[in-house]
């Protein structure tokens, strides 16, 4: 964790780990991703991001069980406008139908 790291996103997502990993590279602009268990990060001079996944109980709708994760994004060294662009891109790649 970087000293100036700040939490900028915390949401529960109905998504499998495999689907999350498939979408992640495009969602972060195809940067180099360091992965360790359920944590993903990228470091560049003066700025970094970290995404932490935490498994949640499946969402159950009758016989249907949907996997869920709490997704937290931490940014360090990002100006407000850069942080917004990062989150807008991330959300674009994980947006579901129906908004």
Domain ranges for the chain: 6-94
Query: Which pLDDT score, from 0 to 100, does residue 2 have?
Result: 59
Once rounded to an integer, what is the mean pLDDT over residues 86-99?
A: 82
Class of domain 6-94: alpha beta
Question: Which pTM does this prediction carry?
Answer: 0.90
Q: What is the token pair recorded at 28?
A: 């972060």
With left for phi above 0 and alpha for psi between -120 and 50, is residue 3 left, alpha or beta?
alpha
> Phi first, then psi: what are they for 44, rounded to 5°?
-135, 160
Cross-strand pairs, 14? 68
Mind listing the pLDDT tens digit for each residue in 26-73?
A: 999 999 999 999 999 999 999 999 999 999 999 999 999 999 999 999
With left for phi above 0 and alpha for psi between -120 and 50, is residue 12 left, alpha or beta?
beta
Average pLDDT over the chain reads 92
Helix (H, G, I), strand (E, B) or coil at 3: coil
Query: Which pLDDT score, from 0 to 100, does residue 1 have?
Result: 58
Decide if pLDDT at 14 tops 70. Answer: yes
């Amino acid at each position: 964790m970087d000293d100036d790291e700040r939490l900028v996103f915390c949401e529960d997502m109905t998504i499998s780990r495999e689907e999350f990993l498939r979408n992640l590279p495009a969602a972060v602009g195809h940067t180099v991703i360091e992965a360790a268990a359920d944590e993903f990060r990228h470091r560049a001079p003066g700025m970094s991001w970290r995404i932490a996944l935490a498994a949640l109980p499946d969402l159950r709708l009758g016989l249907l069980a949907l996997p869920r994760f709490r997704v937290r994004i931490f940014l360090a060294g990002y100006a407000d406008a850069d942080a917004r662009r990062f989150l807008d891109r991330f959300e674009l790649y994980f947006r579901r139908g129906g908004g």
